[in-house]
């Protein structure tokens, strides 16, 4: 069911979900309504009062810059604390086919889309698919106003709380379709700080996660040019994927041709509680098109929700 949500201070009401509540409190996100005001610009002569106001605004911006630096340091600290809990091997009870017992059944996918008219207005969407049929069995979304700016390397502090809030809602209600595995439209350990959005969500929610990126982060000597050469190398032309090994010798993920004849690869990396080998196998099993179906369905729905919101005058009036 649709929800209109606004980021505010979170409150810890359910002690059974302390890790998620703690994350929501830290990032300042508890969604209860949308209030974003739009104003029309007019041109008027500048006065001395306006000049003084401009100077005050500049001082305010300088303060914001200082605050941003302080926030960035806090983010680094929190990221490092979460990183210590990262598990990069299979750590779950379910099994992949052809096993007949405790098979993986519900696979989630999440994505966030942004308004073309208001970059702070976003729609976070979570879908859950039946792993065998790839049919959507559950979906939910949150329309939110994001007050945290995008900072390279710290995307999770902007976007993760939205998805964590939806997961928390499912867990609180003991939803039978709570995902056993979550695919994230974003990177896992294939990240400048080795801890991307998929890792952040996975560790905080204590959920096996896979990072699926459409673009490559330049990490440890890996870049688009080098990966393209790897994919075009004679020994790799018949392979579905190539392993991404950096200059340090560390394995960061894989670049995969998800469909036959695909020109653009996707980049798979460990999120949490799963090995790269298992993550790659699951992505292959769920790809009908370039992007695995759980993420593709989440992307389709999040874009559709945003579009409908912007086209509906009544909903737009509620947000103004």
Q: How distant, in Å, are the alpha carbons of 67, 149, 152, 231, 255 from that of 72?
A: 9, 11, 10, 36, 30
Q: What is the pLDDT of residue 38?
A: 35
| Residue partners of 218: CB distance under 8 A and separation at least 6 | 192
Q: Taking residues 187-204, what's their average pLDDT? A: 97
The answer to whether residues 190 and 211 touch, using CB atoms and an 8 Å cutoff, is yes
What's the chain's Rg over C-alpha atoms?
21
Q: What is the pLDDT of residue 284?
A: 94
What tokens does 88 get? 């990069």
Q: What is the pLDDT of residue 60?
A: 38
Q: pLDDT tens across 226-243, in order? A: 888 888 887 887 788 899
Q: How distant, in Å, are the alpha carbons of 14, 65, 226 from that of 171?
A: 11, 37, 42
Lowest mean per-residue pLDDT among 64-73, 87-96, 114-123: 64-73
175 has pLDDT over 80: yes
pTM over 0.85: no
Q: What is the pLDDT of residue 316?
A: 54
Q: Taking residues 50-76, what's their average pLDDT? A: 57
Average model confidence (pLDDT) across the chain = 81
Q: Taking residues 259-288, what's their average pLDDT? A: 92
What span, in angstroms and rounded, lies between the C-alpha atoms of 201 and 208? Answer: 9
Highest mean pLDDT among 30-44, 172-186, 226-240, 258-272: 172-186
210 phi and psi angles, rounded to 5 deg: -125, 130
The answer to whether residues 269 and 225 touch, using CB atoms and an 8 Å cutoff, is no
Q: Quick one: pLDDT band at residue 315, thresholds 50, 70, 90? A: low
DSSP character string of 130-168? ETTT--EEEEEEEEEE--SPP-TT-THHHHHHHHHHHHH
Q: Taking residues 169-177, what's their average pLDDT? A: 97
Q: What is the pLDDT of residue 236?
A: 81
Burial class (CB in 10 A: 0-12, 13-18, 19+), 209: buried
Lowest mean per-residue pLDDT among 80-84, 99-103, 211-215, 307-311: 99-103
Q: Return the closest-CA partner of residue 282 out of 300, 301, 266.
A: 266
Q: pLDDT tens across 21-45, in order? A: 454 444 444 443 433 333 333 333 4
Q: What is the pLDDT of residue 313?
A: 58
Q: What is the pLDDT of residue 45?
A: 42
The answer to whether residues 190 and 219 touch, using CB atoms and an 8 Å cutoff, is yes
């Amino acid at each position: 069911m649709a929800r209109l949500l606004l980021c505010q201070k979170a409150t810890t009401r359910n002690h059974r979900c302390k890790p998620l509540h703690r994350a929501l409190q830290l990032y300042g996100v508890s969604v209860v309504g949308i209030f974003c005001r739009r104003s029309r610009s007019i041109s008027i002569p500048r006065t001395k009062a306006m000049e003084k106001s401009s100077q005050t605004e500049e001082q305010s911006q300088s303060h914001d810059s200082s605050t941003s630096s302080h926030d960035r340091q806090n983010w680094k600290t929190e990221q490092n604390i979460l990183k210590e809990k990262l598990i990069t091997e299979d750590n779950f009870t379910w099994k992949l086919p052809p096993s007949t017992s405790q098979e993986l059944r519900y696979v989630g996918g999440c994505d966030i889309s942004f308004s073309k008219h208001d970059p702070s207005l976003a729609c976070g969407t979570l879908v859950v698919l039946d792993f065998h049929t790839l049919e959507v069995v559950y979906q939910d979304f949150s329309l939110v106003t994001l007050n945290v700016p995008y900072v390279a390397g710290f995307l999770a502090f902007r976007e993760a709380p939205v998805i964590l809030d939806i997961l928390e809602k499912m867990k609180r209600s003991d939803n039978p379709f709570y995902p056993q595995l979550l695919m994230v439209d974003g990177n896992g350990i294939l990240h400048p700080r080795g801890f991307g959005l998929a890792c952040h969500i996975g560790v905080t929610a204590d959920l096996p996660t896979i990072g699926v990126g459409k673009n490559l982060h330049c990490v440890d000597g890996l870049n688009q040019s080098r990966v393209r050469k790897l994919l075009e190398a004679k020994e790799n032309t018949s392979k579905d994927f190539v392993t991404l090994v950096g200059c340090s010798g560390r394995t960061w993920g894989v670049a995969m041709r998800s469909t036959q004849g695909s020109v653009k690869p996707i980049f798979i990396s460990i999120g949490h509680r799963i090995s790269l080998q298992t993550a790659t196998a699951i992505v292959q099993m769920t790809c009908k098109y370039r992007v695995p179906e759980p993420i593709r369905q989440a992307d389709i729905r999040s874009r559709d929700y945003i579009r409908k919101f912007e086209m509906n005058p009544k909903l737009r009036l509620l947000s103004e």
